[in-house]
Structure 1
Amino acid sequence: MANSPSAKKRVRQIERRTLVNTARRSRIRTFLRKVEEAIASGDQDAAKTALQNAQPEIMRGVTKGVLHKNTASRKVSRLASRVKAMA
């Protein structure tokens, strides 16, 4: 358990940061789910639109430290190839 004042402060900061990161991660997953649903429905226009909306959100996760850069790039690349294969 944290005893020093600085350690107690770090615990408080981590709690706040965890809430923010959880919300960001959840938002990214929502955008990914929308792309997956559009792909599953077979509607290429909807899938393209969903991917265009999801891509900046995924990359924003990188700048905020929620995702690693390569992880985000891999997700976007795989989704883009799946949308392209629908044609």
Structure 2
Amino acid sequence: MPNIKSAEKRVRVSEKRRVLNKAYKTAMKNRIKEVLKAIAEQKPVEEVQKLFIKAQSTIDKAARRGAIHKNQASRRKSRLAAKVKAYVAAKEQGV
């Protein structure tokens, strides 16, 4: 345990931020999983696209808050967008 007052505060602040960052990351991962699950279950294209928009928003929020790096956010959105685009294209081919 730290003996210096500023170090004690740093421990408190770090813990608070760790918990918040964990919450943002968990929410982001859950939104991504929802999109992937919808794709796997062959849900309607409109539903997948709505889930994708929500996932994008959550990823951006995590990056804005500093829970993840902006490049990681960009990479995750890009990979998810590619999967959604491929799904939409496959659905249109099947119709």
Q: TM-score, normalised by structure 2?
A: 0.84
The CA RMSD measured in Å over matched residues stands at 1.1
Structure with bigger gyration radius: 2
Indicate the percent of aligned positions where both proteins have the same amino acid.
Answer: 39
Deviations 1:30-69 (A, max 9, x none): 1111111111112232221110111011011111001111
Structure 1 counterpart of 2:47, one-letter code = A
> Which residue in the other structure is 2:33 paired with?
33
For 1:15-37, what per-residue CA distance to the aligned partner results, in whole angstroms no more than 9, with x for missing partners? 11111111111111111111111
- Could you say what secondary structure the match of 1:2 adopts? coil
The residue type paired with residue 77 of structure 2 is V
Structure 2 gaps, min length 5:
90-95
- Structure 1 residue runs without a partner (length 5+): none
TM-score (norm 1): 0.91
Give the length in aligned residue pairs.
87
Name the residue aligned to 1:11.
Answer: 11
Paired position in structure 1 for 2:52:
51
